[in-house]
Amino acid sequence: MANFCVEMIEFHEDGDDGSPSSPLKFKDQDYEQIKKALLNGGGKFEDELFPANLDSLGELEGFTPEKFSEVKWLRPHELNPDAAFIMDGVSRFDFKQGEVGNCWFLSSIGALTFRKALMERVVPPNQSFKNNYAGIFHFKFWRFGKWVDVVIDDLLPTRKGRPVSVSSSSGKEFWAPLMEKAYAKICGSYGDMIAGRPSEAFKDFSGGVYLHYPLSKSPSDLWDIMDRAFQCRTMIGCSSLNGDRGKQIFKELGVVDGHAFAVTKVKQVESEGARVKLVRIWNPWGDTEWKGDWSDKSDLWETVSDENRDECLKVHDDGEFWIKMEDFLEYFEDIDICCNSPNFVEGDEHQWNSHSKKGRWEAGVSAGGYRNDRDDFWTNPQYRLTVEAVDGWSKGDKNIFVSLMQKHDEENRSKVSYHYIGYYLYKTAQGKLPSSVLLYVKPYTSFLSPTRELTELHSLEPGQYVIIPCTDGAGQTADFIITVYSKGEAKLQLSDD
């Protein structure tokens, strides 16, 4: 393990509640209390807050009224008398995507299976269909700075005896379908999980740092970044091209268009005297693979050493395949990397520290819009950032990572409409900046984006700065959390008037 892989300090602004060891109870449901009552009474849990009906199933693409009428909610032992929660550990090959278009979420679970400690946090152990079974299970997710414990029953939507959504590859193992149901509950329904980015699930699995790389303008050392990221036990996801070109590639080369995948490994091999950089990718469909160079049946595997071929090549229709880096850049659209710390970007040995503050844009009070709103911009919350010197740092080295996340109040994920958000960063020793300064001093800026979370790396000299998070228009109300990860020491505090 590379020595630049350090653990990030977990920050909880409001005390221990919401920590991994003391998560908040989602919808005030207490797993231990409910289970104890069920065991004493001999019943099986039926969740009234996420009932087994069509409201919880939600709107599903391609589902006709006839299909909806065929849906039955069954417990795992009704699908298989030998049902188990986990068999021989967890793996990306334990499950396959069903009729819900949530490949972004399932590919992210595939990436999560490589993070054993994190997996056990999200999927608490000691859950079973045998010992003390009461039809109740629970899972933990990170939500806007806090960990929450989500309770569910084990009634799964099925049609004609098969799960509507995620299914067990073996027909016996049900941790993945139940985990999906818990996430559907916090999203509002199964239908509310349709469409998304792996980075969203990565964040909710870890509360960690994520970086997004569009492959059309990726850094020249992206493969090295990916290599270091794997050494740091990251989660990596990618998306394929959409539109007419994506459909053509799907038809000719087998890469599903407009689809999310997990990146599961990188490997450099020697082929006919040349070094080839390879990327291993997994399709949550559980089948349908790349058919080009370095695919399972490619003759190019005969040009590498027996050791590399034995290590890498597994000719199975399991959705996982190798592709060389050049083809990956050409036929895929972007990549998301989520880790405990940004160290993998440059591979240095510095410890990164984390500082978070929660804030709110309030219409008429602290929602000043962006910099062109001359009269109101200064009313946005302002945060004082103190950057300390770091040994060995030189100008251009990335030493500050900023995350700005907005929180929505909508219970159904599909109905969320995010504001365009961004922030301005000023180098100044003043306290809270007045409009006269903000309008005429050139800031470091981030772009505005209609996203849940915006992230950006900076190279900042030691000194005093002010960060002003904002929306694209005055009067837009929302809660937000701003987090600064610093290489070395730094301080973040709300500026006084």
- Between CA 178 and CA 123 the distance in angstroms is 10
Other CB atoms within 10 A of residue 66 CB: 7
Q: What is the mean pLDDT of residues 145-166?
A: 95
Q: State residue 10's pLDDT score.
A: 45
Distance CA 334, CA 215 (A): 5
Task: Report whether pLDDT(438) > 80.
Answer: no
Cβ contact 381:359 at 8 Å: yes
Q: What pLDDT was estimated at residue 2?
A: 53
Per this entry, what is the length of the chain?
497
Taking 60 as the threshold, does the pLDDT of residue 374 lie above it?
yes
The percent of residues in the chain predicted with pLDDT above 70, rounded, is: 95
Predicted pLDDT at 5? 62
What string of DSSP letters covers 265-329?
A: EEEEEEETTEEEEEEEEE-TTS-----STTSTT-GGGGGS-HHHHHHH----SSSEEEEEHHHHH
Please give the angle made by the CA atoms of 202, 208 and 214, to the nearest 5 degrees: 60
pLDDT digits (tens, 9 = 90+) for 463-497: 999 999 999 999 999 999 999 999 888 899 998 65
Q: Give which of 132, 134, 127, 174 is closest to 153, Cα–Cα.
A: 134
CA distances from 415 to 191, 245, 271, 418, 445 (A): 11, 30, 50, 10, 29
Q: Residue 12: is its pLDDT beyond 60?
A: no
CB-count exposure of residue 432 (10 Å: 0-12, 13-18, 19+):
middle
Buried b / exposed e across 456-486, counting CB within 10 Å, b at 16+?
bebebeeeebbbbbbbbebebebebbbbbbb
Which of 312 and 442 is assigned the larger pLDDT? 312
Q: Topology of domain 350-494, per CATH?
A: Jelly Rolls (2.60.120)
Structure-block tokens of residue 154: 């084990």
User: Within a 10 A sphere around the Cβ of 429, how many other Cβ atoms?
Assistant: 9
pLDDT at 111: 96
Looking up tokens 């003759």 gives 299
Using DSSP, state whether 210 is helix, strand or coil.
strand
pLDDT at 402 over 90: yes
User: What is the torsion angle, in degrees rounded to the nearest 10, for the CA atoms of residue 43, residue 47, residue 48 and residue 51?
Assistant: -120
* pLDDT of 330 above 50: yes
Query: What pLDDT, in 10s, does the model give residues 25-73?
Result: 999 999 999 999 999 998 999 999 999 999 999 999 888 899 999 999 9
CATH architecture of structural domain 210-339: Alpha-Beta Complex (3.90)
Give the mean model confidence (pLDDT) for residues 236-253.
90
Residues of the chain with pLDDT > 90: what percent?
A: 70
Q: Nearest-CA neighbor of 367 among 497, 484, 480, 495?
A: 480
Which residues does the annotation mark as catalytic? 103, 259, 283
CA neighbor of 326 nearest in space, from 275, 284, 287, 252: 275
Residue 471 pairs in a beta bridge with 421
Q: Which of 434, 483, 430 is nearest to 455 (CA)?
A: 483
CA-closest candidate to residue 214, choices 184, 182, 241, 178 = 241
In whole angstroms, give the CA distance from residue 349 to residue 345.
Answer: 11
Q: Using one digit for the tens of pLDDT, what is the confidence trace for 177-198?
A: 999 999 999 999 999 999 999 9
Q: Above 80 in pLDDT, residue 282?
A: yes
Whether the predicted pLDDT of 79 surpasses 80: yes
Query: Pick the residue with more confidence: 348 or 183?
Result: 183
The half-sphere exposure of 382 on its side-chain side, counting CA atoms within 13 A, is 24
Burial of 300 (0-12, 13-18, 19+ CB in 10 A): middle
* Run of H or E including 57: helix 54-57
Same fold? 210-339, 350-494: no
415-435: pLDDT as tens digits: 999 999 999 999 887 767 777
Exposure on the CB side of residue 305, measured as CA atoms within 13 A: 10
Q: How far is CA 100 from the centre of its chain?
A: 18
Per-domain residue ranges of the chain: 24-206, 210-339, 350-494
- Distance (Å, whole) CA 178 – CA 127: 11
